């Protein structure tokens, strides 16, 4: 018999608390010494005065894996949660307009670092192990208010350093420059969050910077693919990880995009969706950051293959996804799907049949919760020429 979400979560958290003893119960310590992956975090509560600080595990050495979603392919939910819960988050309350001063500048140097940075944090009180969970960013472990913080010297990534000192560059241009320089998206998000990019710089809560970065990059790539010829057949890609099942359908059509999500809550099936055409989306998506994360994964494929297509993404969130670990897993899940061998269908209807075959939700049910058929029926300018 399969476990429920509550049972899976309880088991994972129980093992984590059991493992804390290996590190001297750091959840009740007034200090931590270790190598930051490197990692910084900006909270969103009490905005515009927010909690800002580094995340440091109680261990030294190569800790980069603890905060590098691009390297988590094939890891289990429990492994990823443990990576994150081993990060102690130090905080200080700072105005979002404060992008200078010794403390913030130290964090900016940390974010620029090309390798893990030895760090020593002292807290006013013992840290508490309340676990922070939301759908945008990955979880993290104990939190403590910083009394003092020391960071060792580290080498900066030259692309990031150059962009940091270019204060005439708009933030969206800075994000794109770093992306096209090959910097990991998770790294760009941290730099964006800690106020390192753009002309009018501010600290940006981590969960907002994640969505903004995905949106900026995916929007730019979408504009690029609008000039490419249409894909010549219907293609289906799929991938399953961490209790999430993704099916992506590409079909010959000028750019239209819809993502439909389905999830189970106490045995009841819920749905969410949003969509856009070549004009883009003019409102915050109802499915939040997952919309842009998934879009980025698929437009990277279209850009690489210099083709344009209509896109439908189906995401079934199964009970095994017991602890949300962030929308990075949507982006990386789509990326992994698009690297697999595609299936080819005779028609859009046939493609949807294939896409929904492995899912517990029927094609008709997916279609009834979305708008893709309506989008397809709408005439484009090309229909008149």
- Considering the domain architecture, whether residues 144 and 277 belong to the same structural domain is answered as no
285 shares its domain with 380: yes
User: Per the domain annotation, does 183 fall within a domain?
Assistant: no
Helices (H), the chain: 5-19, 77-85, 102-112, 158-165, 171-180, 185-193, 206-225, 289-304, 328-338, 348-357, 363-368, 372-377
CATH number of domain containing 276: 3.30.230
Out of 132-146, 261-275, 336-350, 362-376, least confident range: 132-146
- Quickly state the pLDDT bin for 131 (edges 50, 70, 90): low
Count Cβ atoms within 10 A of the Cβ of residue 21 and give its class: 0-12 exposed, 13-18 middle, 19 or more buried: exposed
pLDDT class of 385 with cuts at 50, 70, 90: very low
Is 373 inside a domain boundary? yes
Report if residue 111 sits inside a domain: yes
- Residue 240: pLDDT band with limits 50, 70, 90: very high
Residues 149 and 238 in one domain: no
213 in a domain, yes or no?
no
Residue where a domain terminates, one of 128, 155, 182: 155
Within this chain, do residues 10 and 148 fall inside the same structural domain, yes or no?
yes
Tokens of 114: 């090309």
Tell me which H or E stretch contains 150.
strand 143-151
Number of domains into which the chain is organized: 2
Question: To 5 degrees, how large is the angle CA 81–CA 85–CA 87?
Answer: 130
pLDDT of 376 strictly over 50: yes
CA distances for 182 relative to 16, 120, 274, 340, angstroms: 34, 30, 29, 22
Domain match, 47 and 147 both: yes
Domain containing 294 equals: 229-384
pLDDT band at 11 (very low <50, low <70, confident <90, very high): confident
Quickly count: other Cβ atoms within 10 Å of residue 361's Cβ.
16
Instruction: With cut-offs at 50, 70 and 90, classify the pLDDT of residue 138.
Output: low
Tens of pLDDT, residues 56-76: 999 999 999 999 999 999 999
pLDDT band at 26 (very low <50, low <70, confident <90, very high): low
Tell me if 278 is assigned to some domain.
yes
Which of these three, 120, 155, 190, is where a domain ends? 155
Choose one of 109, 131, 155: the last residue of a domain.
Answer: 155
Instruction: Give the strand order in the sheet containing 310-317.
Output: 268-276, 256-265, 310-317, 244-251, 234-241, 343-345
What is the average per-residue pLDDT within 304-318? 97
Whether the pLDDT of residue 15 is over 50: the answer is: yes
Q: What is the mean pLDDT of residues 283-301?
A: 97
Q: Compute CA distances 126 → 29, 86, 122, 133, 326, whole Å.
A: 5, 16, 9, 21, 27
Paired with 310 in beta bridges are 251, 256
Confidence category of residue 134, pLDDT binned at 50, 70, 90? low
Give 6's pLDDT tier (boundaries 50, 70, 90).
Answer: confident
DSSP 326: -
Whether residue 379 sits in one domain with residue 235: yes
What pLDDT, on the 0 to 100 scale, is given for residue 145? Answer: 95
Q: Say yes or no: 240 and 331 in one domain.
A: yes
Q: Write down the pLDDT at residue 309.
A: 98
pLDDT at 238 over 60: yes
pLDDT, position 82: 87
Same domain, 138 and 256: no
- For strands 310-317 and 256-265, give the pairing: parallel
Q: Own/partner pairs for 18-24, CB < 8 Å, 24+ apart?
A: 19/82, 20/129, 23/58, 23/59, 23/86, 24/58
Judged against a pLDDT cut of 50, whether residue 381 lies above it is answered with no
Is there a single domain that holds both residue 151 and residue 240? no
Mean pLDDT, residues 122-151:
79
Considering the domain architecture, whether residues 245 and 371 belong to the same structural domain is answered as yes
Which range is least confidently modeled, 22-26, 36-40, 50-54, 362-366? 22-26
Q: Is residue 193 in a domain? A: no
Q: Which residues pair with 236 in a beta bridge?
A: 249, 343
Judge whether 190 lies within some domain.
no
Same domain, 246 and 370: yes
Mean pLDDT for the chain?
A: 91
- Based on the domain organization, do 372 and 235 belong to the same domain? yes
Please give the structure tokens belonging to residue 363. 């094609």
* Residue partners of 105: CB distance under 8 A and separation at least 6: none
C-alpha 333 chain-centroid distance: 10
Task: Determine if the pTM surpasses 0.85.
Answer: yes
Let me know if residue 313 belongs to a domain: yes
* DSSP per residue, 354-375: HHHHTSSS-HHHHHHT--HHHH
């Amino acid at each position: 018999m399969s476990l429920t979400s509550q049972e899976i979560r309880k088991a994972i958290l129980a093992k984590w608390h059991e493992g804390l003893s290996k590190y001297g119960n750091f959840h009740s310590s007034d200090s931590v010494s270790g190598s930051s992956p490197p990692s910084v975090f900006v909270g969103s509560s009490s905005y515009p005065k927010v909690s800002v600080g580094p995340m440091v595990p109680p261990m030294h050495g190569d800790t980069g894996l603890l905060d590098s979603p691009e390297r988590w392919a094939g890891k289990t939910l429990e492994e990823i949660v443990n990576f994150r819960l081993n990060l102690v988050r130090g905080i200080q309350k700072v105005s979002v307009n404060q992008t200078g001063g010794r403390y913030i500048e130290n964090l900016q140097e940390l974010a620029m670092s090309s390798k893990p940075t030895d760090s020593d944090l002292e807290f006013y009180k013992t840290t508490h192990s309340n676990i922070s969970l939301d759908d945008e960013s990955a979880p993290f472990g104990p939190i403590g208010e910083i009394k003092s913080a020391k960071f060792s010297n580290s080498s900066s990534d030259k692309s990031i350093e150059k962009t940091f000192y270019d204060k005439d560059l708009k933030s969206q241009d800075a994000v794109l420059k770093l992306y096209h320089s090959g910097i990991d998206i998770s790294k760009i998000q941290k730099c964006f969050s800690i106020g390192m990019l753009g002309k009018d710089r501010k600290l940006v809560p981590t969960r907002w910077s994640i969505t903004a970065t995905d949106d900026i990059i995916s929007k730019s790539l979408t504009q690029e693919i609008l000039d490419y010829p249409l894909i010549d057949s219907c293609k289906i890609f799929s991938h399953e990880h961490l209790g999430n099942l993704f099916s992506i359908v590409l079909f010959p059509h000028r750019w239209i995009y819809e993502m439909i999500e389905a999830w189970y809550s106490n045995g009841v099936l819920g749905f969410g969706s949003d969509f856009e055409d070549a004009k883009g989306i003019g409102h915050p998506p109802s499915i939040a950051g997952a919309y842009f994360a998934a879009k980025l994964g698929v437009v990277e494929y279209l850009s690489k293959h210099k083709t344009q297509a209509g896109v439908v993404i189906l995401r079934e969130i199964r009970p095994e996804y017991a602890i949300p670990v962030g929308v990075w897993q949507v982006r990386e899940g789509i990326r992994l799907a698009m690297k697999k061998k595609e299936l080819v269908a005779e028609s859009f209807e046939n493609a949807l049949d294939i896409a929904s075959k492995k899912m517990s939700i029927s094609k008709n049910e997916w279609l009834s919760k979305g708008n893709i058929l309506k989008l397809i029926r709408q005439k484009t300018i090309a229909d008149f020429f």
